[in-house]
Structure 1
């Protein structure tokens, strides 16, 4: 992973914490969770407060996610809102945190001037044992605390203010007035600084979960579609009248579901030609074939001429795989006819030619599913499914790792927004890294 760290391909864009008072506050939150405080004098955090350095110090990557549900968070500063989420069991953790920041910006800003906000994203289950546990999560409740009880003091001061204004003789209570002055010294003027979060309950929309090898949950009105390994506990057992279950290897049904619900863009020249999508998929596919059939190749030598030579020399393997001939045929057909007849092709091949509809609310989740179904495309995997990318990266040779890092650095990292706009048709930033 050192090469990924060096090129900001893992744990990139995190916020460094070096101020002693912030480290002290972070430790108070850790101790409130029953965890030992850190001895580090410098570490980085993501939007949720997760730190890769502290995880390494504790030898526990799950220290803020002990049961892979009811995720904990630590907020030291409002600036965390712009950070990615680098460690999570749910794909929508980032969007839920972002919604919490947006809904409670004033309170977060006011509290973190003097204190730390911490707590957990509370869900209706304490432990995930089967798919039904995941489907039972309809909304989440942010349980918010402060290390120095800033929220409690603000609430106490608010009640005393109400009493002072509502009771005719309350101003004669010297002990109450002294208490109000004491509290105001810590909380400030709560009429100007709203210390209590306004909204803590949020809907739990469509998501990916890392449980049971990875589960995709899509919502369409009152119906739910689950896509995962059919060996996952609870598959096809929960609410069959409301929940549709599709095995992850049933490409035909997955493609039909995505097409029927309007989540994918079918292969049309209007976006295929200007995006360079087929050229990109072709390059990724060929690199995957080379790794499979010629693992000792030096990838620093690979260029367009070298690739053509390799294709000619390995024509049998390329033909048997079928992906490269399919892409070449589809490219010619789209250029000539303006579209590709999807009903005449195998769904496994069609996943090479489609992308999520950029304006659909599930576009990131859909592209994540597509990246899982097209594992040869390590660039798309990195963009939409970093956990999956890092797992695959571990299986790469040192030479191919260097090539992957170089490719990502020269394409995606050079200008993320422009790259996403061209290849996937949208610019929205997802909070992960």
Structure 2
């Protein structure tokens, strides 16, 4: 796995914690939340404040995520907002944390100048004892304050200031004035710099969880479903219309199509789809060549064509069906879609444009594991699991390909493969000139190419 780390494909974009003051601040926060501390003098943290080095030190990768539910977080700096979320058990967790930091960035910036902010992603479920518990997770509340309770003290001071200003005898209440002075020593000037972090709520309908081997929960669609990566026995009697596993390929294809969740790449991109599908063919061929011991270092396009010719009859069914579809596209002929049970079927599709685009593309990535690029982008945990089983030649090729072809333009590659990333309605602005428009034209939006670099996701 160190090969991936060196290329920035694992533990990439984490925030460094190296100064003694920040380490001390983190330790106070860690002890406040968990009763534990670290002896490390420097480490890295993700968006939630989780450190893989501290996880190793404590022999507890879930030290900020007890029971894989209601994730705790530590914010040392708002710079954490672009970091990934490691050890994610729910696909919505990073999105919720990112939105929370974005919406409270000014307050968090002011608070973290003096202390760490600690909090929790709360829902009504505290322990997952059965798959049914997952369906009780709907609203995620975030509560946060500094370790020194600056926000709570600020609210108390605000209340006393109100009493001082409104009560007739407030000006002569020496006890009240003394309390205000003591609180202001702790909070600073809350008139000029208000310290306020209200509890915020986020609704989550459709999501993926790593619990029970991986489950995709679709509740906010016309036809509800739970799709399990593994044995269906553990997900019987769930409050959904369909309970499926990844082996139910025809049923999954029907389900995704009827709900309008997927689209054929060729129908959307036309002839531009050919290049994307040809790359998928390359990935399948690479898998076979690597398993047969071929040297894939510095492989050229010509070398790859020669490998395809050499092993053409040995390539899997998915390759031949996909190759047939690409040939018909290139010739301008009507494409004969393979049956959903055909291994090539899901390679020809991507998520349609809706708010759960990344969730559906994650599901498609599990159904098309030989497309290692989509697996890496959309489902990193599954990618790492597969990577551990690959031969050394394939590991070398994949790491080099992703570093040279994907990491140099992540946003551009995602846009080419999956289309525009869905915006959140809460982020749209309207000042009376139309959505995202100001009096002098479109309101510029900040870009963050690292938003989806890690899966995402508690």
State whether TM-score is above 0.5.
Answer: yes
Question: Is residue 250 of structure 2 the alignment partner of residue 283 of structure 1?
Answer: no
**Equivalence for 1:309:** 306
Q: Which runs of 5+ in 2 are unaligned?
A: 423-450
Over residues 66-121 of structure 1, what are the superposed CA-to-partner deviations in whole Å (9 max), with x where a residue is unaligned?
21111111011222222222221111111110121233233322322222111221
Q: Residues 344 and 298 (structure 1 numbering): CA distance in 2 closer, same or farther, change over 3 Å?
A: closer
Q: Distance in 2 between matches of 1:123 and 1:216?
A: 19
**Equivalence for 1:249:** 247
- Determine helix, strand or coil for the equivalent of 2:12: coil
* Larger displacement relative to structure 2 (220-229 or 80-89): 220-229
Q: State the Cα distance separating 1:223 from its structure 2 match.
A: 5.0
Aligned counterparts, 1:30-429, within 5 A: 30-221=30-221, 224-229=224-229, 231=231, 234-239=234-239, 242-268=240-266, 270-275=268-273, 276-292=275-291, 294=292, 296-300=293-297, 302-318=299-315, 321-337=316-332, 340-342=335-337, 346=341, 348-357=343-352, 359-427=353-421, 429=451
Q: Residues 269 and 201 (structure 1 numbering): CA distance in 2 closer, same or farther, change over 3 Å?
A: closer
Q: Residues 43 and 230 (structure 1 numbering): CA distance in 2 closer, same or farther, change over 3 Å?
A: closer
Q: Which runs of 5+ in 1 are unaligned?
A: none
**Equivalence for 2:452:** 430
* Larger displacement relative to structure 2 (397-406 or 343-352): 343-352
Question: Is the contact made by 2:228 and 2:244 (CA closer than 8 Å) also made in structure 1?
Answer: yes
Q: Distance in 1 between matches of 2:178 and 2:401?
A: 65
Question: Is the contact made by 2:318 and 2:342 (CA closer than 8 Å) also made in structure 1?
Answer: no
Q: Distance in 2 between matches of 1:395 and 1:2?
A: 15
Question: Is the contact made by 1:130 and 1:233 (CA closer than 8 Å) also made in structure 2?
Answer: no
**Paired residues, what number?**
426
- Determine helix, strand or coil for the equivalent of 2:140: strand
Over residues 309-342 of structure 1, what are the superposed CA-to-partner deviations in whole Å (9 max), with x where a residue is unaligned?
3334334322xx2222212211122234476343
Q: Distance in 1 between matches of 2:136 and 2:376?
A: 30
Q: Report the RMSD for the aligned CA atoms in angstroms.
A: 2.2
- Determine helix, strand or coil for the equivalent of 1:220: coil
The two structures have a TM-score, normalised by structure 1, of 0.92
Q: Distance in 1 between matches of 2:233 and 2:411?
A: 39
Q: State the Cα distance separating 1:215 from its structure 2 match.
A: 0.8
Q: State the Cα distance separating 1:422 from its structure 2 match.
A: 1.8
Q: Which has the higher contact order (CA 8 A, sep 6+)?
A: 2
